[in-house]
Structure 1
Amino acid sequence: MFLRRIVITGYKAYELGIFNENHPGIHYIKKALAKELVTLLDDGLEWVLLSGQLGVETWAAQVIMDLKDMYPQLKYAVIPPFLDQEATWNENNQHIYQEIIEFADYYRALTEKPYEGPWQFMEKNKFFIRNSDGLLIIYDEEMEGSPKYIKKLAEQYAKNNDYRIISITQYDLQAIVETEQMDQMDQW
């Protein structure tokens, strides 16, 4: 199936126990995202949709910014569910978010209102599924978290529509860690 537009999402940083940008796990998450993105790009991917939440989505945006040198056709949109999503974040996280917005090919808050309630997240999920061909999600059924809502919606949508769901699980991430460790041992 040809995927022209995908949504990338996954756990928020705190759901993974990641509280700073120097955490070694981020490297492996970015590597997994880059691997999937390159495969999708080689098959014609053009757009990535993100809401800009802290964690997998901000790391995905950073991967996309790095890939744009080799894949200038790749574009990404940041569409948060409400205005000023980052207002309560610390200064460092606000800076990361501003950089992601600055380099985005498209930015606009979906509801164009400040936070009012959980309905804005539900509307964001519906909008993303309706306006994409697939979902790339870092999620593992064994570790429930906030991505379960969009995954469930995508699975329901895929029952009646041509919609692809690509999951990166803890086992996929562990395989990347082990491969990299083996490569490092071979260099000794």
Structure 2
Amino acid sequence: MANLVISGYRSFELGVFKEDDPKIAVIKKCLSQEITQLVENNQVEWILIGGQSGVEQWAAEVVQELKKDYPQIKYSVIFPFYEFGSNWNEANQLKLQKIKQAADYTDSTSHKPYENPAQLKNHQQFLLDHSELALLVYDPEFEGKTKYLYEAIQRKQEKTTYECLLIDFDQLQNQTFE
């Protein structure tokens, strides 16, 4: 059993600004398929997310749904710093609060409010140090903020065994709904 980090594009990077955007359903379906396969193969017990808007929050919602069929899975929200999201608008803060409340564990890697980019780098390193594999909704041909995590994973893979699964734009575009 391993810990799985899930990350990917932020909602604004995908042009998603409404909760009913059809792109969300496609991304959630892909995430659900990948997570289900890992859980059914007894590869994952804990799922780690950072709480960012977009893929990370959608992954938390997917895990909440999957827990109905797979109560053994757990997810944690590990924020990069204390008071993460406190400057977001009210709707986004409320969504983040719901994700925190449903999580099996929450904490932050820095127990201080945002001070500098080193907190983000330390957070990234913490997630990689405490996981054995990652699932990213990311396409290296279309860079976004996830580029930094993807590059850190590649550096880790040069030194140790660390699996990284990618859901790229081709996979998203080829997704069908039964």
TM bucket normalised to smaller: over 0.9
Asked whether 1:59 is paired with 2:61, we answer no
Gaps of 5+ in 2: none
2:77 is equivalent to residue 102 of structure 1: no
Runs of 4+ in 1 over 6 A off after TM superposition: none
Q: How does the TM-score come out when normalised to structure 2?
A: 0.97
Cα deviation 1:151-186 (Å, max 9, x = unaligned) = 10011101221110000000000110xx22xx4xxx
Distance across 2 between alignment mates of 1:64 and 1:15 = 22
RMSD: 0.9
Structure number with the higher strand fraction is 2
2:3 equivalent in structure 1? 5
- SS at 2:120's partner residue? helix
Letter in 1 for 2:28: K
Alignment-derived partner of residue 123 in structure 2: 124
Opposite residue 10 of structure 1, the aligned amino acid is G
Report the secondary structure of 2:108's partner residue: coil
- The answer to whether the aligner puts 1:47 opposite 2:51 as a matched pair is no
SS in structure 1 at match of 2:79: coil
Which whole-Å CA distance do the structure 2 matches of 1:69 and 1:93 have between them?
Answer: 25
Aligned residue runs from structure 1 range 176-187, under 5 A: 176=175, 179-180=176-177, 183=178
Q: Which residue of 2 aligns with 1:137?
A: 136
Per-residue displacement from partner, 1:116-174 (whole Å, max 9, x unpaired)? Answer: 11111100110111110011001011211000001100111012211100000000001
Matches within 5 A, 1:80-91: 80-91=79-90
Q: How many residues matched? A: 177
Q: Which runs of 5+ in 1 are unaligned?
A: 184-188
Q: Secondary structure at the match of 2:91?
A: helix
Q: Distance in 2 between matches of 1:85 and 1:22?
A: 25
DSSP 3-state at the match of 1:79? strand
For 1:37, give the aligned amino acid. Answer: I
1:86 counterpart SS class: coil
Sequence identity percentage:
40
Q: CA deviation at 1:43?
A: 1.4
How far 1:83 moved relative to its partner?
1.0
Q: Which has the larger radius of gyration?
A: 1
Match of residue 30 from structure 1: 28
In the TM superposition, residue 4 of structure 1 has moved relative to its aligned partner by: 1.2
SS state at 1:6 partner? strand
Q: What is the alpha-carbon distance in structure 1 between the residues aligned to residue 6 and residue 31 of structure 2?
A: 9
Higher mean C-alpha deviation, range 7-16 or range 84-93 = 84-93
- 1:126 partner SS: helix
Q: In structure 2, what is the Cα distance between the partners aligned to 1:157 and 1:14?
A: 28
Q: TM-score, normalised by structure 1?
A: 0.92
